[in-house]
Amino acid sequence: MTDPATRPAPPLLRRAAPALLGYAAVRALGLVALALWSAARDKSALTLLSARWDSLWYTRVAELGYGYEVRLPNGDVHSNLAFFPLLPWLERAVSAVTPLSYAHAGLVVGTLASLAAAWGIFAVTDHLYGGRVGVCAVLLWAVLPVGIVQSMAYTESLFTALAAWSLYAVLTGRWVTAGALAALAGLTRPVGLAVVAAVWAAAIASYLRERRHEPAPPFVRNRSVEALNSASLWPRALGMLLAPLGAAGYVLWVGHRTARGPLGYLDVQAGWRNGFDGGLAFARFVADKFTSFPSALAGVGLIIGVALIIWLYTVCVRQGQPLPLLVYAGVVTALALCASSYFGSKPRLLMPAFPLLLPLARTLAGARTPGSATIVGAVGVASAIYGAFWLNGSGPP
């Protein structure tokens, strides 16, 4: 009889099955709540998911290409060059081989990408902390208050999938794969720079450790240590070379199209009143909430939310998360909190920062199963109701 200790681990997809089934159940609950709420308000849930806000801009890129813009009365220019091309390319590809419209193709891409993202989050967490924590991490990501975005024709799920699998490739020493996935992430959203930074930081750190003959830092599970130190110089170098090609290529192309060089993309974002000011505009936005009593409660909530995010990142550092995860989550968080516009979209911009959930997942995994299930179930119901309310109201700008 085979010794259980020497049996090979089951395939990753089989290990991830409970997490994926739980994730699908949470998302189905959210969609049912959205359908019921939308029907009560005489709105189409399908339209809310596939053809509203940014989804319309991606659909126009898929249908017409780049060059569409809207000039507002105040002089602002909203150009579709602000939207990175990978999702529109995928919408066009799916629509070409199916009878689906571009909008509905985007919904299919978003749904499949959300499952790939859940699988990637499980893969990273299982590699570091084991399968039980992996399941909890996926479920926590699913029940985020704005988790309904994961089921929309938006880029959050696609980006998170590429980022998670790139980080997993880094943790397992697959540098070329990590660089290729980082390049695709850079074609999805501007925050793709976070994945590039994670790949570069991990590659440089592992190379310097080898040069100094130092042991790798003690990850929670030591099989990651061997993987990081097993690659030769050239795979690491090639991964580092590939990683920034997506983001750099698109930004340079926009600069050429606008005849503004490397500053062209920044000009496009400025037309949307997007920028990076270190969080000053967001701080003023929060401070303005304290001008009256009802809005002051929202201000307190925002301060608590930001403090919670900073605290979670601090816990991630204290618990010794691997460097690539810390760099990735840190850059995503900084870009989300320090952007100068669209403050209502910050929760969804933070959604890809799944490493922030790992301390909570470890705590949840340590509790008894009935208690964990009760907590996740209650939060899942609240998330589903909030998502239906949110998407039928202001929704993601």
Task: Give the position of tokens 């105040």.
Answer: 74
Structure tokens given for 28 = 């189905």
Q: Cα dist. 11→18, 160, 222, 255 in Å?
A: 13, 22, 19, 45
Tell me the whole-structure pTM to 2 decimals: 0.93
Which pLDDT belongs to residue 293?
A: 78
**Predicted pLDDT of residue 223:** 45
Q: Where on the phi/psi map is residue 61: left (φ > 0), alpha (ψ -120 to 50), or beta?
A: alpha
- Cβ atoms < 10 Å from Cβ of 381: 15
Write out the chain's pLDDT in tens, 397 residues: 444 444 555 788 899 999 999 999 999 999 999 999 999 999 999 999 999 899 999 999 999 999 999 999 988 899 999 999 999 999 999 999 999 999 999 999 999 999 999 999 999 999 999 999 999 999 999 999 999 999 999 999 999 999 999 999 999 989 999 999 999 999 999 999 999 999 999 999 988 887 776 666 555 344 444 444 444 688 999 999 999 999 999 999 999 999 888 789 999 999 998 888 888 888 888 888 888 878 888 889 999 999 999 999 999 999 999 999 999 999 999 999 998 877 778 899 999 999 999 999 999 999 998 989 999 999 999 999 999 999 998 888 7
Parent domain of 388? 17-154+375-397
| Residue 110 belongs to some domain of the structure | yes
Q: Alpha-carbon distance 260 to 276, whole Å?
A: 19
Q: How many domains does the chain have?
A: 1
Residue 119 lies in a domain: yes
Q: Note the helical H segments in 259-322.
A: 264-271, 280-288, 293-318
Does residue 274 lie within any of the structural domains? no
379 inside domain: yes
Per the domain annotation, does 211 fall within a domain?
A: no
Give pLDDT, residue 151: 95
Three-state DSSP state, 78? strand
**90 is a domain residue:** yes
Residue 139 lies in a domain: yes
Specify the pLDDT at position 1: 40
How distant, in Å, are the alpha carbons of 115, 150, 160, 298 from that of 204? Answer: 31, 33, 23, 42
Note every long-range contact of 280-285, with CB atoms under 8 Å and residues 24 or more positions apart, other chains counting.
280/340, 281/340, 281/341, 281/343, 282/337, 282/338, 282/339, 282/340, 282/343, 282/346, 285/343
In the chain, % helix, strand, coil (3-state, to 5) comes to: 75, 0, 25
d(CA 245, CA 241): 7
What confidence score (pLDDT) does residue 224 get?
46
CB 34 within 8 A of CB 48: yes
Contact 353, 152 (CB under 8 A): no
pLDDT at residue 216, as a whole number:
62
**Residues facing 79 on adjacent strands:** 69
- Whether 36 maps to a domain, the answer reads yes
Note the pLDDT of residue 5. 42
Question: Could you give the CA distance from residue 172 to residue 170 in angstroms, rounded to a whole number?
Answer: 5
The helix-helix angle for 293-318 and 280-288 (nearest 10°) equals 140
pLDDT at residue number 215: 66
What pLDDT does 214 receive? Answer: 66
